[in-house]
Amino acid sequence: MGCRFCATGTMGFKSNLSSGEIVEQLVHASRYSQIRNVVFMGMGEPLNNYTAVVEAIHVLTGPPFQLSPKRITVSTVGIIHSINKFNNDLPNINLAVSLHAPDQDIRCQIMPAARAFPLGKLMNALQSYQNESKQTIFIEYIMLDGVNDQEQHAHQLGKLLETFKAVVNLIPFNPIGSSSNFKTSSDQSVKKFQKVLRGVYSIRTTVRQEMGQDIAGACGQLVVSLPDERSAGGATLLSDIEDLRI
């Protein structure tokens, strides 16, 4: 979706996964460990591949996998027309929204896709969804130093969510090299932001534990580059990991 803070987004769009390809990931993962939770997010927008995602979830919640719907989460940048039918097609599945900003202007600056889905209309769609589904909504919020991490932004977010039953997950920004001007919020800023949401607005707020930074494999860092060019300081990107020749 081209989010400015995400290296993965620089790879561009190649194709959608089929429902079989989505299910195949669980088949392979199950060989290594018992899988209890599944999250649709990351490299791509699940609600832009709506039919395949719905079909895959129906398979995952049926035999032989029998995953509980309560342990499946679908994340979205806010595709309104898909949110409007989400509860009918996927009852009891968790919905997570990559909000990342408390107002439309900041959201458009860091998430170009937000221009197509105005914040006011998105929040109305989420309110209708929650009224119908009675489900808690998970809000994903990346913390960018000086951009969306100030105390005033915490108050804006709290007021935006005050009519919702929501859980906010604050995500420390993972550096993505010289291609980005963003910086990671300080621990103090993150804690202050969390304190406002919890203390003033009584919103359950967690801070995501980051893993994989040491191998550039943390959230927002996953991107494919040629080994010889990467070692030489190049930044040529491939469209998919399948294009990497070893």
**Is residue 181 in some structural domain?**
yes
Radius of gyration of the chain (CA): 18
26-59: pLDDT as tens digits: 999 999 999 999 999 877 899 999 999 999 999 9
**Is residue 88 in some structural domain?**
yes
Task: Note down the domain range covering 93.
Answer: 7-215
Total tally of structural domains belonging to the chain: 1
| pTM to 2 decimal places | 0.85
Average pLDDT in the 112-134 region?
Answer: 96
Question: 196-202 — which CB contacts under 8 Å span 24+ positions?
Answer: 196/151, 196/154, 196/155, 196/158, 197/154, 197/157, 197/158, 197/168, 200/155, 200/158, 201/158, 201/159, 201/161, 201/162
82-106: pLDDT as tens digits: 999 999 999 999 999 999 999 999 9
Question: CATH number for the domain including 13?
Answer: 3.20.20.70
**Is residue 244 in some structural domain?**
no
**Is residue 76 in some structural domain?**
yes
How far apart are the C-alpha atoms of 86 and 95, rounded to whole Å?
A: 9
